Amino acid sequence: MAAECLCGCGREVAFRWRPVNTRGRDLRATVTEIKKTPGRGRSLADRGYVKEVNRACEKLAEAVHEQLPADNDLERETRDLLKKYRERYGKPGFSLGRWQIARR
């Protein structure tokens, strides 16, 4: 199955960047979930989280577009965001892709 870029540009993602892309999709899914859950997304903490995710996803998409080598800082940052989500909201209602493998 071909993987499409997390940013929605329709670009196909080379095999090497699929883990990066999957992380981005997971992050996007957390934002979608926050937005569709009643009572969420309005607090300062929620809005801060969404903003951080959007910023991180821009960087992830750039890595996919430019085929940049793995960036450890970005990797840590995105992993922390997913961890933060889990701590704050509990287990996500969607399946986390590569992240589950990466966090072991």
20 binding Zn ion? (CB under 5 A):
no
57 binding Zn ion? (CB under 5 A):
no
Q: Residue 25 has which token pair?
A: 């999709």
14 binding Zn ion? (CB under 5 A):
no
Is the separation of the CB atoms in 52 and 81 below 8 Å? Answer: yes
Assign residue 90 a region: left if phi > 0, alpha if psi is -120 to 50, beta otherwise? Answer: left
Q: How far is the CB of 89 from Zn ion (least distance, A)?
A: 27
Q: How far is the CB of 90 from Zn ion (least distance, A)?
A: 30
Pick from 2, 4, 9, 40 the residue near Zn ion by CB under 5 A. 9
Q: What is the DSSP letter of 17?
A: G
Pick from 1, 2, 4, 7 the residue near Zn ion by CB under 5 A. 7
DSSP notation for 37-56: STT-S-SHHHHHHHHHHHHH
Pick from 1, 2, 4, 5 the residue near Zn ion by CB under 5 A. 5
27 binding Zn ion? (CB under 5 A):
no
Q: Residue 85 has which token pair?
A: 């989500």
Site for Zn ion, rule CB under 5 A: 5, 7, 9, 11, 61
